[in-house]
Structure 1
Amino acid sequence: MKHSYNIKILVFLLFLILLWDYLNSGIIIKQKLFPQVLEDDNDDKKISIFILAGQSNMVGRGGVINKVWDKFVPPECSSDPRIIRVNENSELEIAKEPLHAGLDHPSKTCGVGPGMAFANAILKKVPNFGTIILVPSAFGGSSVSEWASSNSSLREKMINRTNQAVRYGGKIRGLLWYQGETDTQSEWNMRNFPGEYHKFIHILYKELLHPRVPFIQVALASGQGKSDLLERVRAAQLGMEDIITVDAMGLAVKSDGFHLTTMAQVHLGNMLADAFLKSYI
């Protein structure tokens, strides 16, 4: 009788343990990936979340020639256990180049972008910054209207994956945005660009529920249409208020005429890090 009672107690305790593991799965994952934050788990500054969105230059085509990536990873873009990414399955993993692998258009080839250089630059400049979670969400060839539409699948996926990252702990610290080349392709796109851009930012903050998150945009270095359309899109970008702008004009562009080279992406990542830290400190 006593033996049967002991077995029931053990089964009940096992059930409680399994239930606790299920309800706290996010905490368990965080402990495995982020051992350095356990000393002060209540300090959400230990984990900083950054969203990377826009189109192909944010995805990164550095090192891609004829749809083949040369696999060259500059030291500034190397992996670090303190830099995590949310992958295509909304799971956390150590980030590495190409950062947008599995997330871009299936017909495109991902190469080096600014994200890893950005994260590494922050950790170099602020060694005690903590852990960085990157949420790569850019999509090659996307127009601003695709991001701004009421039923945008691109924006929905970005928001959902960001919310998944928040579940693991930490706080959204910024959104890095590099988009506009597609909107230089035609007069119609260019005319609609300013209104659609304002609409996108308005909807974005409403859905993110984080109105004070810095929005850091990259002013175009190149376009896919006539030079006057590029300048007009750039003028709309540079005229935006209440956001932070990093100007990519002058950075080296590949022979295709509009994608940044690998080292230009490294330089851009450093520029983005400097812009963020000025707003953060």
Structure 2
Amino acid sequence: MLPLLFLGLLAHACLVRPQQLQPKNIFILAGQSNMAGRGGVVNSAWDGIVPSQCQPNPSILRLSANLTWVLAQEPLHADIDANKTTGVGPGMPFANVVLAKDPTFGVIGLVPCAIGGTAISHWGRGTSLYKRLVRRAQAALQDGGTIQALLWYQGEADTVSKEAADSYGAKLESFFIDVREDLKSPMLPIIQVALASGQGRFVDTVREGQLGIDLLELQTVDAKGLPLEPDGLHLTTQAQVQLGEIMANTFLQLIPSNRPILSPIQSSAPRRCSNFLLELFQSE
């Protein structure tokens, strides 16, 4: 009787959505508040409005804070940038555009890592944020899948002092190189966002640092001119949607239409049903 009961419980625990069983095309989302998502956040309150471009899709999953794959939905960073109010970011529109333009792309796995208010010095190799990014990226691969790109939007915090702004470009380039090295992916595609705003007056200096980095497989999209929330710092919901679409189109241009989806960093590790418990389609 006990063996039958055990087998029944095991079968129930291993119920999964078909999408969760497929190898995932993984994207790491990192940086500070505009990547974490502040669209629709005014006076520390999110309006809860989710545009059609950001709606959930069964083929878009998210790695939660406890390293479990769940249905992706806004706000993507709610349990990651947990000490702040999060809203709409570029991740969901990015993923939805990729799938809309390439229906054969397969399941997307988003790995949120962004934390609001962080400077580039908080992301250097050896810091807690850096270690967590690498740990989450490795966990995302544990049950199979491929890392397709790092999506990066950060720098607003480094516009406050001239010293931080002047050193920004060199520190950012080192960060990109270190991430590629520690993920054992020297040609990992990176899509970074050039600043639209900043917390200080050295925005142009930080932008120069961003635009001056010359690495292979690094693409830069420009957020300058996109609409901002009343705080003058964070992108509006519609601006986040537009940014996500731009980033998606940039990524798709990196993939020749006649080439299968491959990544320099992948895992063929055996799947463990314990990491794929059934998740109901409900708000987290």
Matched, 1:102 2:79: yes
CA contact (8 A) 2:20 2:69 kept: no
Gaps of 5+ in 1: 1-6, 22-27
Task: Give the TM-score taking structure 1 as reference length.
Answer: 0.84
Structure with the largest fraction of helix: 1
Match of 1:235 in 2: 208
Task: Give distance in 2, aligned partners of 1:109 and 1:36.
Answer: 30
Match of 2:16 in 1: 32
Partner of residue 55 from structure 2, selected from 70, 78, 81: 78
Match of 1:248 in 2: 223
Match of 1:147 in 2: 123
SS of residue matched to 2:254: helix
Task: Give distance in 2, aligned partners of 1:280 and 1:126.
Answer: 11
CA contact (8 A) 2:169 2:212 kept: no
What's the C-alpha RMSD, in Å, of the aligned pairs?
2.2
Quote how far apart the aligned CAs of 1:122 are: 0.5
| Distance change >3 Å, CA 117–CA 55, structure 1 → 2 | same
CA contact (8 A) 2:192 2:219 kept: yes
Task: Give distance in 2, aligned partners of 1:265 and 1:160.
Answer: 27
CA contact (8 A) 1:62 1:259 kept: yes
Deviations 1:63-84 (A, max 9, x none): 0111110000000000011000
Q: What one-letter code is carried by the residue in structure 2 that aligns with 1:98?
A: P
Partner of residue 45 from structure 2, selected from 61, 65, 68: 68
Quote how far apart the aligned CAs of 1:105 are: 4.7
Task: Give distance in 2, aligned partners of 1:132 and 1:48.
Answer: 5
| Distance change >3 Å, CA 190–CA 130, structure 1 → 2 | same
SS of residue matched to 1:280: coil
Match of 1:24 in 2: none
Task: Give distance in 2, aligned partners of 1:239 and 1:196.
Answer: 12
Task: Give distance in 2, aligned partners of 1:14 and 1:139.
Answer: 44
Matched, 1:275 2:250: yes
Match of 1:208 in 2: 183
Quote how far apart the aligned CAs of 1:200 are: 0.9
Task: Give distance in 2, aligned partners of 1:269 and 1:195.
Answer: 26
Aligned length: 252
SS of residue matched to 1:206: helix
Matched, 1:195 2:179: no
Quote how far apart the aligned CAs of 1:240 are: 1.1
Match of 1:222 in 2: 197
The structure with higher relative contact order (CA 8 Å, sep 6+) is 2
Deviations 1:4-38 (A, max 9, x none): xxx9xx97x999x79xx7xxxxxx86x713x1586
Larger Rg: 1
Quote how far apart the aligned CAs of 1:212 are: 2.0
Match of 1:113 in 2: 89
Identity percentage of aligned residues? 48
Gaps of 5+ in 2: 257-284
Task: Give distance in 1, aligned partners of 2:32 and 2:128.
Answer: 14
CA contact (8 A) 1:105 1:140 kept: no
Matched, 1:180 2:155: yes
Deviations 1:118-165 (A, max 9, x none): 0001011111211000000000001111101x4211111111111111
Quote how far apart the aligned CAs of 1:168 are: 2.1
SS of residue matched to 1:234: helix
Match of 2:238 in 1: 263
Task: Give distance in 2, aligned partners of 1:147 and 1:77.
Answer: 28
Task: Give distance in 2, aligned partners of 1:99 and 1:36.
Answer: 18
